[in-house]
């Protein structure tokens, strides 16, 4: 250990945690700024932030962290095969002060993550107060132009139009939530490049705010599953008839979710997971973000996330959640935000690199586990 690193280590746990939080300051500050803007906008519409949503989201993150911890612990036990698993657990984790420091240092960003989705749900639920839902016809036309005069779901139907296939895709589509929570927990505490970690969380917050908030409000649209019951448009009646027919053979869980969303929308519910918005697709957007972040760490593993991205995009069309163009716009938007986030993080690091203590922590990266 060189003299500078030894100096930082000798500062003690509180100094190391403070330096870690300072390193995360751009992510924290920008996310808090967006929260403030959201709160002001919601207040002007008479919409309050629901504490119940915050509690529920915190519980989901606790479960995600617990699940991730169990998986990683089992992996470590199988790899090292210690004589005493309990002793190993205490030595490497519970009794390791550096591990506890990492947990504490990550709490500010974890708090941001817990507050983010409830804010987004409230904004998404408020879309009708910002903009009339009048983009569906335009998006239908764009889809048909892109696919040579045919609705994309009809092109997919000969391949995917079987009840077991549809049911499987519906489960995968809902399981996206696992990626959203467990994936974020992994990026928060995994031993990866600190630049990639901060770039991921900054892009994550910007994606929910700008893509899922601003763009969704500006291009307000219901999507194929909801345009019928909410506007009387019968364009997708054949697709919905197929999904209901398949549901009679084997449960299609996405139909239950869509009915729940429709009920929340009619009740003007602003809780976690409420609101209806087709353009852009946040399912596709978050999958695109995970692909870019994982690829930056491991191109080999990134291929699996590219496959998952394509699968979610195709499923979003087949299950009548989205128009195909919704996913396309999300992919392009996230790619732009990813580049912007990386540029900003690097600018911040260069700006603070004159501090030798900060420089030590900025260059102290380790391979991904």
pLDDT tens digits, 234-253: 999 999 999 999 999 999 99
Residue 308 has pLDDT above 90, yes or no: yes
Residue 7 burial (10 A CB sphere; 0-12, 13-18, 19+): middle
Q: Is residue 252 a contact partner of residue 315, using CB atoms and an 8 Å limit?
A: no
- State residue 355's pLDDT score: 53
Residue 161 has pLDDT above 60, yes or no: yes
Q: How many residues does the chain have?
A: 369
Domain ranges of the chain: 3-363
pLDDT tens digits, 75-108: 888 888 888 887 887 777 777 777 788 888 889 9
Q: Can you tell me the distance from the alpha carbon of 9 to that of 210, in angstroms, rounded to the nearest whole number?
A: 39
Could you tell me the two tokens for 289? 């973000």
- State residue 340's pLDDT score: 97
| Strand blocks (E) in the chain | none
Q: Can you tell me the distance from the alpha carbon of 210 to that of 27, in angstroms, rounded to the nearest whole number?
A: 15
The alpha carbon of residue 111 and the mean position of all alpha carbons in its chain are separated, in whole angstroms, by 15
The alpha carbon of residue 351 and the mean position of all alpha carbons in its chain are separated, in whole angstroms, by 29
Q: Which of 271, 258, 308 is nearest to 287 (CA)?
A: 308
- State residue 331's pLDDT score: 98
Q: What is the dihedral of CA 337, 342, 347, 353, to 10 degrees?
A: 150
pTM exceeds 0.85 for this model: yes
């Amino acid at each position: 250990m060189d003299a500078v690193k030894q100096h930082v280590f000798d500062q003690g746990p509180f100094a190391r945690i403070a330096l870690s939080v300072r390193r995360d300051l751009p992510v924290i500050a920008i996310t808090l700024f967006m929260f403030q803007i959201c709160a002001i906008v919601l207040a002007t519409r008479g919409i309050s932030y629901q504490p119940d949503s915050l509690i529920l989201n915190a519980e989901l993150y606790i479960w995600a962290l617990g699940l991730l911890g169990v998986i990683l612990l089992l992996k470590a036990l199988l790899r090292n095969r210690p004589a005493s698993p309990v002793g190993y657990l205490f030595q490497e984790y519970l009794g390791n002060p550096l591990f506890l420091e990492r947990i504490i240092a990550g709490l500010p960003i974890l708090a941001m993550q817990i507050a983010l989705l409830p804010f987004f749900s409230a904004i998404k639920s408020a879309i009708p107060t910002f903009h009339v839902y009048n983009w569906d016809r335009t998006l239908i036309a764009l889809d048909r132009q892109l696919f040579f005069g045919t609705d994309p779901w009809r092109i997919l139907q000969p391949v995917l139009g079987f009840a077991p296939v549809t049911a499987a895709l519906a489960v995968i589509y809902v399981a996206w939530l696992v990626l959203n929570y467990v994936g974020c927990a992994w990026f928060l505490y995994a031993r990866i490049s600190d630049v990639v970690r901060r770039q991921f969380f900054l892009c994550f917050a910007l994606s929910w705010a700008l893509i899922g908030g601003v763009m969704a409000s500006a291009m307000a649209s219901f999507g194929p599953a909801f345009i019928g019951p909410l506007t009387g448009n019968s364009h997708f009646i054949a697709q919905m008839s197929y999904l209901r027919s398949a549901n009679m053979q084997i449960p299609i869980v996405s139909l239950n979710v869509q009915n729940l969303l429709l009920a929340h929308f009619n009740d003007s519910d602003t809780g976690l997971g409420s609101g209806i918005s087709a353009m852009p697709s946040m399912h596709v957007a978050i999958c695109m973000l995970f692909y870019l972040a994982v690829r930056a760490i491991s191109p080999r593993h990134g291929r699996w996330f590219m496959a998952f991205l394509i699968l979610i995009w195709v499923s979003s069309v087949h299950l009548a959640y989205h128009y195909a163009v919704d996913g396309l716009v999300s992919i392009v938007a996230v790619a732009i935000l990813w580049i912007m986030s990386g540029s900003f993080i690097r600018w911040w690091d260069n700006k603070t690199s004159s501090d030798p203590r900060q420089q030590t922590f900025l260059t102290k990266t380790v391979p991904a586990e």
